[in-house]
Each structure stands twice: as structure tokens, then as C-alpha cells.
A and B are shown apart, each in its own frame.
Chain A
Amino acid sequence: MCDSCGCGDTNVVPLDVQQRILSENERGAAHNRHHFVERSLVAINVMGSPGAGKTALLEATARALGGQRRIGALAGDLATDNDARRLEAAGIRAHAINTGSACHLDAAMVHRALHHMPWKDLDYLFIENVGNLVCPAVYDLGQAANVVILSVTEGEDKPLKYPVMFHKADLVLISKVDLLPHLPNIRLERIVDSLSRVMPEPHHIAVSATSGDGIDKWIDWLASHEAQRLRPEGSGEASDHHHHDHHHHEGHVHHE
């Protein structure tokens, strides 16, 4: 390594780059975000384990909104369009993104999918990521917020095992809480304690798509993001900044 030994070999050139490796994805995400902001659309990146209840939560969201908002969803899965068909049956405009072997969605996949679905008149766009608590956390898609769904059956310490995913979450929906009476070893407050060890602001709502518990609070949370998008533009929000500090509003359940 001539750059370190100083032998003066002019053919070997060290180049200081200091470049974010995912800068291309970040450009794509900024582009998507620009589209979303321009159309006053609230885009939510929905993440969670396979089986956490992402699709069921979106179905319950559609039921609760009862046509008061136009909602769309991109459903990411390695294969099948089962989720997209379920979402369509629930009245959600949906398009499947089959990732093949990829374990996550990226900004370009989202952008391509938008060409296959009318989205410009939507109020909410849910981007249902591939079921996975690791990889999706790394890729910005252009969303306004990250929502992670964690079902009570997954264990109380899941956030401690997957800190990156939960650290990136703006909101955690603790799902399937209707099952708690059948799970003597799972306590909601211990799940919340785990969240508070990886999330500086552990915003969370306990929900059940089956019983409807907490869905009203989730609907309020979504509405609070509409209020944000309607604030005066020109704040440079659609620029290259990939980290967005989300303002949190009333209606959140805070960890005490």
C-alpha cells in the first residue's frame, strides 16, 4: 500500500471519497418524497415481521375510514399478489411489488410501482414493506413516517433484538392486543419498556384489527400527519435530507 509507506509510487492513487453508499437510493427517495409532498399525500412505510398483521391493520384502517379518505397501498412480498388482492377487497387501491429474492423495498421499486397505479389523488399511501425486521430499516422510500407493527405474540424483547428497525420507527403499533388474555407471560408494559430502550420517543398505540381496539387512535395519528402536509410549502422538505424529524401531535400514546 504505497499510500501508507510513502515510497512515492505515482501509479497508486488513494482517493478520499466519504460518500454515503446508499446515496443513489437516497436520491430516489427524495424524488418520491417530492412527488408525495407535491400531491399532499401522506406516505407511510409500514414494516414488521411476517405475520405481524400489516395487511390486517390496513384492512381495519379502510373499514374505520369508511371511504372518508382515498387510500392506496403498495404491497411488497417476495412472491404472490395475495396481500394486494386482500387490500383491494377491502376497498384499498393496491398494487403488488414482487421483489423476487430481495428482502426489502427500495426507492426505485416504489417509484416503478407508482407507474402501475393511479396514486395522485390519494390521501394516504401505505407502502407495505416485505415482512422482515432487519433489511427494510436501511432503505428510505420517500415516506413521511415509518410505522412498525409488532404483534404481542412476537415476544416482549423483540425491540431489543432488532434495535435498528425500532430506532427508525416514528410509531409502533402493538398489534393483536385482543390475544393478551390468552398470553399469560406477555405484558404490554414490558413491550413498551423494551421500546423505550431503543426509541428516544417511543410513540406507540396498542391495537387490534379484530376487535377494533386502538384503531381510532391510529386514525387520529394519520390525520395529524395530514395537518403537517398542509402546512405552508417551501420548507425545503422535498430536498436531499433523508432524516426527517417528525412532529408528534396529540393522540399519541406516550410511554410514561
Chain B
Amino acid sequence: MHEYSIVQALYDNVVTHAVARGATTVQEIRVRIGQLSGVDPELLETAWRTFKVHTICEDAPMAIEVVAAEWACRECRQPAPPAGIRRCATCGGALKLVQGDEIVLERIVMEVA
């Protein structure tokens, strides 16, 4: 379970921003997690709840936006269905993931003294 490692990296990012702006507490964080990112949103949220205790983020819930996987043809750019052979039904080109692999810290809401 690598969600704790992700949360460690996330926490470091949040604290860097909070300290740089002289925040006293962090009130909310928002993250965007792709369906094919390899990160499980529920596990991530659980890890965050455990990790943030006794930190500047103690009262900050994590809001998670799950981003659905979207595929399109690398050649003709035609959108493709999420399942099936990863080749374009129109031109036969290889598909590529257009979205759905992101692991992004989107926004921090903090209280500044």
C-alpha cells in the first residue's frame, strides 16, 4: 500500500505552501486522482486522516475528485471506449490515455493570521 507514501509527499507539499504564506491552520485540501493513476481514493483518504493528526492539517478534510480514464487515438484523435482492445476502431492506430493518470494537489484552503 503506497498511499501512505503518497500522503507523505502530499503533506510535505501542503506544509511548504502553508509555511510560505504564514498559515496557522490548513482547513481543507483538494486533490485530483485519476482512475488509472494507481492510487486508490479511499485508501488515500484513510491514510490522510491517520497522517494529519497533531499537524497543521489536523482539521483539514481531503476532498477527492476522481478523474475517469479517457482514451483517444494517437493518430486520428478519435475518442475511444474505456474497455476493449487499445486500438482505434476507425484507423487502427494505438490509443493513448488522455486523462485519468493524474495524482494532483489542486487546492489548499488555509487560515492566515
Contacts and interface: CB of A to CB of B under 8 A. Distances in A.
Interface of A: 1, 3, 11-25, 102-104, 106, 134-135, 137-139, 163-165, 167, 196-202
A199 B94 CA distance: 9
B47 interface: no
Interface in B69-113: 74, 83-87, 94-97, 102-113
Contact of B111 (A12, A104, A201, A202): A12
A12 B104 contact: no
A17 B106 contact: yes
Contacts of B86: 196-200, 202
B109 A200 contact: no
A240 to B, nearest CB: 16
B45 to A, nearest CB: 14
A16 B107 contact: yes
A17 B6 contact: no
Contacts of A18: 104-107
B74 A200 contact: yes
A248 B110 CA distance: 48
A24 B38 CA distance: 18
Given A1-B28, A138-B37, A167-B97, A21 B110 contact: no
12 contacts: A11-B113, A15-B107, A15-B108, A16-B106, A16-B107, A17-B105, A17-B108, A21-B31, A21-B105, A106-B5, A139-B2, A164-B38
Contacts of A17: 13, 17, 105-108
Interface residues of B, number: 40
Nearest to A132: B2
A22 B111 contact: no
A210 B88 CA distance: 38
A237 to B, nearest CB: 20
Contacts of B111: 11-13
Nearest to B34: A164
Nearest to B94: A200
A22 B9 contact: yes
B13 A14 contact: no
B67 interface: no
Nearest to A165: B38
B8 to A, nearest CB: 10
Contacts of B87: 196, 200
A21 B104 contact: yes
A164 to B, nearest CB: 4
Contacts of B106: 16-18
A134 B2 CA distance: 9
Given A20-B102, A102-B2, A201-B94, 19 more contacts: A11-B112, A12-B110, A13-B21, A13-B111, A14-B108, A15-B107, A16-B107, A17-B13, A17-B106, A22-B9, A23-B13, A24-B13, A138-B103, A139-B2, A164-B36, A196-B86, A197-B83, A197-B85, A197-B86
Nearest to B44: A21
A25 B12 CA distance: 12
B105 A103 contact: no
B38 A137 contact: yes
